[in-house]
Structure 1
Amino acid sequence: MATSPTAPAKARAKTAGAAAPATPGASRELSPPQKALIKMGLTRDIDLALHLPLRYEDETRITLLRNARDGDTVQIEATVVKSEITLRPRRQLVVTVEDESGSCELRFFSFYPSHQKTLAVGALLRVRGEIKGGFWGRQMLHPAFRLAGGELPTALTPIYPTVAQLPQPYLRRAVQSGLMRADLSETIPAPVLQGIDFLRLSDLRSALSFLHHPTPDVSLAALEDHSHPAWQRLKAEELLAQQLSQLESKRERARLRAPALKPLHQRGVLSLHEQLLAVLPFALTAAQRRVCEEIAGDLARGVPMHRLLQGDVGSGKTVVAALAAAICIDAGWQCALMAPTEILAEQHFGKLVGWLEPLLAPLGKQVAWLAGAQKKKERTAALALVESGEAALVVGTHAVIQEQVKFKNLALALIDEQHRFGVAQRLALRSKLDDGSGREPHLLMMSATPIPRTLAMSYYADLDVSTIDELPPGRTPIVTKLVSDSRRDEVVARIADQIAQGRQVYWVCPLIEESEALDLSNATATHADLSDALPGVLVGLLHSRMPTAEKKAVMDLFTRGEMGVLVSTTVIEVGVDVPNASLMVIEHAERFGLSQLHQLRGRVGRGAAASACVLLYATNESGRLGETARERLRAMAETADGFEIARRDLEIRGPGEFLGARQSGAPLLRFADLATDTVLLDWAREAAPVMLDQYPVQARLHVGRWLGGKSEYLKA
């Protein structure tokens, strides 16, 4: 309907002559709708053409009142027989209309004088709304309406996603104008379209025109679930653009240069890599050996490695990183390892110092530590070691990439929990090799959140992926229990039992302090409660707002076994390794994401003792859990396999959880769904190299249409 009962007449008048949005650089003052278009990113004709409806309204037919059932949304054509403002139970405009088959009451709680004028007695109207039955007869609340006249539309009316100050009529005209002007010429050559028959049934312009104005005989279910051929064409084009940009990024990187890292073998002397293998207190698993060989092969080439090392919680990624660092150092270069939190960075530092420092000392080298909370004297000394090259390995947080950090010859950058770092931070680390040669350091990114296959095929298609798909021997299975918050006392009793056996316990809370918005227990209150309930037991508290020295002191007490219970927020999500901890309690588990729950669970089961994870959940007033929360908790109880957890998490939450800041500035897939569009993704992966090799001009046009300049972000 052209007229909305809640839109001021003045606003409607302003949009009457609207056609296309003004460009941001226009000299005249922009109207509120034009500003809203810019705010939504609808600045190019193609942006408008690709702004698709949320749903549709059928204004192509008139329904007689006698044929309309309660709950139906229908369009009627009827005459106003009564129009009045009533004050009880509140001020409202009540209008009675009749057609040849019956009558209906229209009620408006928000209205303007212009509405009263249009809804005057005797006016013939077209009204669209939901029919509701009641004691006083049939009625519609706040229906759309306008004066009858003119031919009925032949297509469904689109309802677009919008924002304040951008009325649907204005947006419809802007979208239609953009659709007419946009260059939608075919960019996919006919031979590339072979293989999926329905992709050849319509070109992009036809598909978009149909989706903006579908005919009334179309299956609404096919439009809503995006299975209609027009939707499939859009999704295929989008996936192809993504695959093209990823493949081009990978090929560009293959043209860059990096130091070729090969051990400096001396007769009768073991390489640093071999020495480290010899002193490790455990044997590598077959999976660890395999990924080490993949990484060593990359480092030996003069092309920058751009590899993602993924493995489940506790699979042994740190030792793989140490062995890669040993290859780099043995070749006479520096290596840097960056972690997102100081706790995780310190865990790495402790392990790497223990493994490598005895081997580096005879070479006059050492491991340096860089973090934001360092004292000035310590920091100055560390910076000098890095710049001189005496620090062969540098471990730290974001402090590693600060401007004052000057490496002598950085050749390998290791980034742990890579999804927590943004594009700019990764680019900054890559720029630290500044020897005037134009070379870049090798980059190994690590993730304890396994990447589902379809995600790796799409968003990580520009990376080489190494997977540690087995756990080291000796890891005890973790029993996962779902327990209602009403049984909290039983959980505390279980904690007391574990401590009596000499074990330690984590208790994780989602908040630090009280929030009025969320009725959640907080870490501080839980710490006090557990201290009272467990007399004689040292109960610690750890959260991100504590001073660094205080956090370190708490972790040291827990690591040494002097602290029985550690109450913490999610700062212990990754990296913390205390083999004596055998019980993990996660409070308000229904509030956590699936991957985060799995990461937290992985903090126990790291020793020989049987371990358990208790997911303590709270229900709503009706004693029920939300559907998404129930799915997450069920998945945790059913499997401990990180790859299966990741697959289910992708289904529940979508790709954003896994990507983190990697695609900052670039959109996730707008139309394609990785869970259901694997056939289209497979086609796009096969089509991308054919396009780049045989049709480079069309490939460039295709990426520009769909991604604009955003494909630059893939280079990080």
Structure 2
Amino acid sequence: MSHTTDRPRNSAIQEKLARLGIADEFDLVLHLPLRYEDETHLYPIRDLPAQKTAQVEGIIIDNKVMYRPRRQLVCQVDDGSGVLCMRFLNFYGSQVKAYANGTRVRLLGEARPGFFGIEMVHPKCRVVGEQEPLEDTLTPVYPATAGLSSDTLRKLIYRTLRQLREAGNQPCLSETLPEEVLRRHHLQGFADSVFFLHQPPPDAPADLLQERTHPAWRRVKFDELLAQQLSMRLHYQQRRHGSAPAMPPKNRLTSALLASLPFELTRGQKKAFFEISRDLAAVHPMQRLLQGDVGSGKTIVAALAALQAIENGYQAALLAPTEILAEQHYQKLRAWLDPLLTPLNASIAWLTGTQKKKQREIILANIASGNAMLAIGTHALFQEQVEFNRLGLAVIDEQHRFGVHQRMALREKGAKKDTANTASSIPHQLMMSATPIPRTLSMSYFADLDVSVIEGLPPGRTPVVTRLVADTRRDEVTARIREACLVGKQAYWVCPLIEESEALQLKTALHTYETLTLIFPELKIGLIHGRLAPGEKSSVMESFAQGEIQLLVATTVIEVGVDVPNASLMVIEHAERMGLAQLHQLRGRVGRGTTGGICILLYQKPLSATAQERLKVIYEQTDGFEIARHDLHLRGPGEFLGARQSGLPMLRFADLEKDEALLEAARAAAEQLLRDYPEHAQRHVQRWLGNRSEYLRV
């Protein structure tokens, strides 16, 4: 802690504080209560309210250990207005002695009718003297950890607050915001807010405290959101001052590609490419997120961006999280771009971690020489032995699947002296996501990025029809599969696990494959899962794409990027076990042709409340952004963000769903502080984040 007098001398306590994320004085005073107990008022026993926590005081008139129906300590407490039974089902011998007859005690708990009359079971109980004063503030209950109780934390925090108040100079609680910002956003003082939340007066509105909507809570949450916004915008500005190769549109290769396509770009695709094209022409690094629902056509936009880099003499790299997706991109982009690149003696490279040594050496040489103007691959693309000749654009598909350091490694492949320039530059970066990001998440954790959204689906696409079917109706589902496949359609049957798990007892891909082979002797059935060799995966997917396989049994390895237009039916086993984002992604694998698609969600009863809610959302909604909003509500931002936020302290006080208006205010305040009060901005970020904001570099 910043003052040695405030630092707990016991190193064991320091270790326990560290488990709660408390490393210094500011962390300690920001360890705010979960809830409050009212020990400022005593109720007569005869007037105890029902189903409400209340405090009474009286004399123990009977104390005995009983053994029926189980061992328990039972005490009778008399306050002159009535008698209350106090029961402990788990107790120590010392408590039997402490609560001897004639002892005055103060109890806090919920009174209920019981076998012994009105009783409190395991109340908060302490021995008191006659006329002992009541608390003059509500009693905070703090998040605790093993060996460090809420009471211990309360004493430690109270002592620190007292020292801060007596010192007068409160550096860790000093005001970081200018008066103008406080007035504009109707904020009360920071120090006053912190003191209030730790020691609220008896008449403090309990509902506002509990719901965290009191002005004191509002100030703390505002400051937390503001620190996040400032940190994001500072890193955004820092990147804008960086150097990147300017790659203006030359409209040769891009126009040729558009002319060769059998379809027109949608308005959403055109808008997204315009924004990306403008960024590529700039001399500072693009850091743009391209969002689009499943099937919205992000790949063609990425292809146009790659061509803009190529026609400026720069290489492009496309990173995908799985070999199946990487190969799908390779096959699709090669079909589009080969006719344009071959006359230029340029090629497209596909690099994975499982290629044979000789083949890999040839590919690496083509990338290093610059003959391969577009490199597509998995994690293998950012390995040390991969060298680019002149990398200008890095495209990262399904960006949430990659961590900070992985994205940084790919970017640094181009962070070297460009042969045409003397200054060191880094490549532009385009990240793509088919998991739409809810607005509040985009405003907060993605505020350091420029965002393009492809709205709507290409013409001719119809929403997939979703059906919820109980596992007991499996025969109806198999009949539907047979009917579809016999008229020339194809189907997926998706299972969540590869091999048996006794704990979950889920249907597995292997078992399902064997079962369906017996059920459908007339159909050609394939099997694909993550443990197949890459060559086997490619072979199976190629057979499915060519229509040789009618029914493909698969794990969620097909979740992203797989595009087989003739596949119109999907069955998902144990849909109740999957998350909303995964269900939406899987569903997007069908209905990619012109005839629409059907997704059957097989579920097992009984369903948990969360599973019921997930299935209800996926059944009722087809819009990815609406599904993502529900997903954020169910899972919270931590799981939703994935590896992007590795190392990021999550929001502790603000709730993105409930505090959207406060987030808007914090965004506006961040812009004002950076523009008019840069010193206040730096001080605010330093207080809240210290050195913990470096993760935002990529």
The TM-score normalised by the length of structure 1 is 0.91
1:530 aligns with 2:520: no
1:408-445 deviation per Cα after TM superposition (whole angstroms, max 9, x unaligned):
11110000011111111111111111433321100000
Higher alpha-carbon deviation: 419-428 or 705-714: 705-714
Instruction: Name 2:674's counterpart in structure 1.
Output: 692
Instruction: Name 2:471's counterpart in structure 1.
Output: 485
Instruction: Name 1:144's counterpart in structure 2.
Output: 124
Instruction: Name 2:268's counterpart in structure 1.
Output: 287
Residues 524 and 55 of structure 1: is their aligned pair in 2 closer, same or farther, counting only changes over 3 Å? farther
Tell me which amino acid in the other structure corresponds to 1:693.
R
Separation in structure 1 between the aligned mates of residue 159 and residue 407 of structure 2, nearest angstrom: 41
1:453 aligns with 2:466: no
Gaps of 5+ in 1: 1-17, 23-27
Separation in structure 1 between the aligned mates of residue 403 and residue 219 of structure 2, nearest angstrom: 32
Separation in structure 2 between the aligned mates of residue 396 and residue 57 of structure 1, nearest angstrom: 58
Offset of 1:605 from its aligned partner?
0.5
Instruction: Name 2:315's counterpart in structure 1.
Output: 334
Aligned counterpart in structure 1 of residue 91 of structure 2, from 91, 106, 111: 111
Secondary structure, counterpart of 1:661 in structure 2: helix
Separation in structure 1 between the aligned mates of residue 158 and residue 526 of structure 2, nearest angstrom: 62
Instruction: Name 1:67's counterpart in structure 2.
Output: 47
1:476 aligns with 2:462: yes
1:663-693 deviation per Cα after TM superposition (whole angstroms, max 9, x unaligned):
2111232222222323222222222122112
Which aligned pairs between 1:256-655 and structure 2 lie closer than 5 A? 256-262=242-248, 271-436=252-417, 437-620=423-606, 625-655=607-637
Question: Matched residue pairs, number?
Answer: 681
Secondary structure, counterpart of 1:172 in structure 2: helix
Separation in structure 2 between the aligned mates of residue 319 and residue 709 of structure 1, nearest angstrom: 39
Q: Is the 8 A contact 2:416 2:426 kept in 1?
A: no
Offset of 1:371 from its aligned partner?
1.3
Higher alpha-carbon deviation: 307-316 or 102-111: 102-111
Secondary structure, counterpart of 2:173 in structure 1: coil
Residues 519 and 143 of structure 1: is their aligned pair in 2 closer, same or farther, counting only changes over 3 Å? farther
Secondary structure, counterpart of 2:203 in structure 1: coil
Aligned counterpart in structure 1 of residue 688 of structure 2, from 706, 709, 714: 706
Tell me which amino acid in the other structure corresponds to 1:116.
V
Aligned counterpart in structure 1 of residue 59 of structure 2, from 73, 76, 79: 79
Separation in structure 1 between the aligned mates of residue 67 and residue 616 of structure 2, nearest angstrom: 52
Instruction: Name 1:12's counterpart in structure 2.
Output: none
Q: Is the 8 A contact 1:70 1:133 kept in 2?
A: no
Tell me which amino acid in the other structure corresponds to 2:293.
D
Q: Is the 8 A contact 2:392 2:414 kept in 1?
A: yes
Separation in structure 2 between the aligned mates of residue 517 and residue 168 of structure 1, nearest angstrom: 36
Instruction: Name 2:168's counterpart in structure 1.
Output: none
Tell me which amino acid in the other structure corresponds to 1:123.
T
Q: Is the 8 A contact 2:367 2:388 kept in 1?
A: yes
Instruction: Name 1:9's counterpart in structure 2.
Output: none
Offset of 1:240 from its aligned partner?
1.3
Which aligned pairs between 1:33-52 and structure 2 lie closer than 5 A? 33-52=13-32
Percent sequence identity over aligned pairs: 55
Instruction: Name 1:5's counterpart in structure 2.
Output: none
Offset of 1:398 from its aligned partner?
0.9
Instruction: Name 2:167's counterpart in structure 1.
Output: none
Residues 709 and 359 of structure 1: is their aligned pair in 2 closer, same or farther, counting only changes over 3 Å? same
Residues 528 and 446 of structure 1: is their aligned pair in 2 closer, same or farther, counting only changes over 3 Å? same
Tell me which amino acid in the other structure corresponds to 1:405.
V
Separation in structure 1 between the aligned mates of residue 5 and residue 110 of structure 2, nearest angstrom: 31
Q: Is the 8 A contact 2:248 2:278 kept in 1?
A: no
Separation in structure 1 between the aligned mates of residue 443 and residue 602 of structure 2, nearest angstrom: 36
Offset of 1:400 from its aligned partner?
0.7
Instruction: Name 1:244's counterpart in structure 2.
Output: 230
Offset of 1:306 from its aligned partner?
0.7
Q: Is the 8 A contact 1:539 1:567 kept in 2?
A: yes
Tell me which amino acid in the other structure corresponds to 2:185.
I
Secondary structure, counterpart of 2:693 in structure 1: helix
1:94 aligns with 2:74: yes
Cα RMSD after superposing both structures: 2.1
Separation in structure 2 between the aligned mates of residue 516 and residue 79 of structure 1, nearest angstrom: 56
Separation in structure 2 between the aligned mates of residue 522 and residue 238 of structure 1, nearest angstrom: 45
Q: Is the 8 A contact 1:452 1:650 kept in 2?
A: yes
Q: Is the 8 A contact 2:35 2:141 kept in 1?
A: yes
Offset of 1:136 from its aligned partner?
3.0
Residues 173 and 476 of structure 1: is their aligned pair in 2 closer, same or farther, counting only changes over 3 Å? same
1:464-489 deviation per Cα after TM superposition (whole angstroms, max 9, x unaligned):
11111121112133111222222222
Tell me which amino acid in the other structure corresponds to 1:630.
Q
Separation in structure 1 between the aligned mates of residue 160 and residue 359 of structure 2, nearest angstrom: 60
Separation in structure 1 between the aligned mates of residue 276 and residue 550 of structure 2, nearest angstrom: 40
Residues 48 and 584 of structure 1: is their aligned pair in 2 closer, same or farther, counting only changes over 3 Å? same
Aligned counterpart in structure 1 of residue 152 of structure 2, from 170, 180, 184: 170
Gaps of 5+ in 2: 165-170, 418-422
Residues 498 and 289 of structure 1: is their aligned pair in 2 closer, same or farther, counting only changes over 3 Å? same
Separation in structure 1 between the aligned mates of residue 220 and residue 510 of structure 2, nearest angstrom: 51
Residues 68 and 512 of structure 1: is their aligned pair in 2 closer, same or farther, counting only changes over 3 Å? farther
Offset of 1:49 from its aligned partner?
1.5
Instruction: Name 2:420's counterpart in structure 1.
Output: none
1:715 aligns with 2:697: yes
Q: Is the 8 A contact 2:415 2:427 kept in 1?
A: no
Q: Is the 8 A contact 1:19 1:174 kept in 2?
A: no
1:192 aligns with 2:173: no
Q: Is the 8 A contact 2:60 2:105 kept in 1?
A: yes
Tell me which amino acid in the other structure corresponds to 1:157.
T
Separation in structure 1 between the aligned mates of residue 503 and residue 64 of structure 2, nearest angstrom: 42
Offset of 1:97 from its aligned partner?
2.4
Q: Is the 8 A contact 2:65 2:71 kept in 1?
A: yes
Residues 171 and 473 of structure 1: is their aligned pair in 2 closer, same or farther, counting only changes over 3 Å? same
Offset of 1:354 from its aligned partner?
1.4
1:664 aligns with 2:646: yes
Q: Is the 8 A contact 2:468 2:600 kept in 1?
A: yes
Offset of 1:47 from its aligned partner?
1.0
Separation in structure 2 between the aligned mates of residue 545 and residue 66 of structure 1, nearest angstrom: 69
Residues 434 and 254 of structure 1: is their aligned pair in 2 closer, same or farther, counting only changes over 3 Å? closer
Separation in structure 1 between the aligned mates of residue 642 and residue 623 of structure 2, nearest angstrom: 21
Separation in structure 1 between the aligned mates of residue 507 and residue 156 of structure 2, nearest angstrom: 49
Tell me which amino acid in the other structure corresponds to 1:525.
H
Secondary structure, counterpart of 1:214 in structure 2: coil
Offset of 1:21 from its aligned partner?
5.0
Separation in structure 1 between the aligned mates of residue 339 and residue 247 of structure 2, nearest angstrom: 22
Separation in structure 2 between the aligned mates of residue 367 and residue 196 of structure 1, nearest angstrom: 54
Offset of 1:19 from its aligned partner?
8.8
Separation in structure 2 between the aligned mates of residue 357 and residue 400 of structure 1, nearest angstrom: 21
1:149-199 deviation per Cα after TM superposition (whole angstroms, max 9, x unaligned):
3311111111111221211122112333454546111111011223333x1
Separation in structure 2 between the aligned mates of residue 136 and residue 678 of structure 1, nearest angstrom: 50
Offset of 1:697 from its aligned partner?
1.3
Which aligned pairs between 1:179-218 and structure 2 lie closer than 5 A? 179=161, 181=164, 183-197=172-186, 199=187, 202-218=188-204
Offset of 1:321 from its aligned partner?
0.7
